[in-house]
Amino acid sequence: MLNMERIPRHVAVVMDGNGRWATKRNLPKMAGHNAGMQAMKEIVKRSSTLGIEHLTVYAFSTENWKRSVEEISGIFSLIVVYVEKELKELHENNVRVKVLGDYSMLPEKSVQSLEKALKTTAGNTGLQFNIALNYGGRDDIRRAVADIAKLAKDGKIDPDDPEAITEQLISDYLWTGIHHADVPDPELIIRTSGEERLSNFLLWQAAYSEFVFSDVLWPDFTPEEYERCIEEYQGRDRRFGGRNK
């Protein structure tokens, strides 16, 4: 049973298994992505109900560009569909939408839909729903390093000062940092479909995250399975490199 006193502030999810779900049913891959979108909708709702402050989903990675043009186009079309169908309800439920990653490279209609969602929900104070789009952990760190290098070039920090470039400064310039989404590191990262790897997701931010792996394919990932994962997290002893007395 969930301990409501130990609900994580930030849960991140690698939504894996849409394609396999479709293949098992002799359906096109886009049927799996569409079913996955419905599953995501329910997890957003349950996150809000549980009082989770931040939910981050890995929607499209920098490596996903290697997929077929048809699948990529279909995924981006789903973004438009999702915003059109769900934005009103998200806004009414005080959900704030943020994007992690350079979404400017997406098709124009997808960009417009995302910017509409960002603008409409900007003032909301409930669950912050972070969508990782065209996101990669290594690229995230590379961008932060480039921004910090520019600070040094402009004379705003002294690279010779050992206290100038801190872990906090690097964190601030990541997509999750104060200059973008202002998201704390995730306490819990869930990956579905039985795979057990990060796949270039939140590499810096995951330093002390707890991982829970579910064998359930993402379209079948229910709010009940979500709560089971959170309950498993709550049973962990988080020591952050130290020892309990």
List pLDDT tens digits, range 40-92.
Answer: 999 999 999 999 999 999 999 999 999 999 999 999 999 999 999 999 999 99
pLDDT for the residue numbered 46: 98
Q: Is 16 a catalytic residue?
A: yes
The torsion angles phi and psi of 56, rounded to 5 degrees, stand at -115, 125
pLDDT for the residue numbered 218: 98
Q: Residue 45 has which token pair?
A: 């709702």
Q: What is the pTM of this model?
A: 0.94
| Residue 240 resides in a domain | no
pLDDT for the residue numbered 245: 53
Give the chain's domain count: 1
Catalytic option among 26, 64, 147, 220: 64
Amino acid (1-letter code) at residue 234? Q
| Residue 30 resides in a domain | yes
pLDDT for the residue numbered 78: 93
| Residue 70 resides in a domain | yes
| Residue 90 resides in a domain | yes
The domain of 35 spans 4-136+184-234
The CATH code of the domain that includes 210 is 3.40.1180.10
| Residue 60 resides in a domain | yes
pLDDT for the residue numbered 17: 97
| Residue 23 resides in a domain | yes
**Nearest residue to 201 via CA among 8, 15, 10, 9:** 15
The torsion angles phi and psi of 115, rounded to 5 degrees, stand at -65, -30
pLDDT tens, residue by residue, 169-181: 999 999 999 999 9
| Residue 164 resides in a domain | no
pLDDT tens, residue by residue, 126-162: 999 999 999 999 999 999 999 999 999 999 999 899 8
Instruction: Give the mean pLDDT of 93-113.
Output: 96
| Residue 143 resides in a domain | no
Q: Is 64 a catalytic residue?
A: yes
Match 């995951």 to its residue by tokens: 206
pLDDT-above-90 percentage for the chain: 95
pLDDT for the residue numbered 243: 56
H helices present in 51-188, as ranges: 69-92, 108-121, 137-153, 167-172
pLDDT for the residue numbered 238: 72
pLDDT tens, residue by residue, 33-50: 999 999 999 999 999 999
Residue 237 has pLDDT above 90, yes or no: no
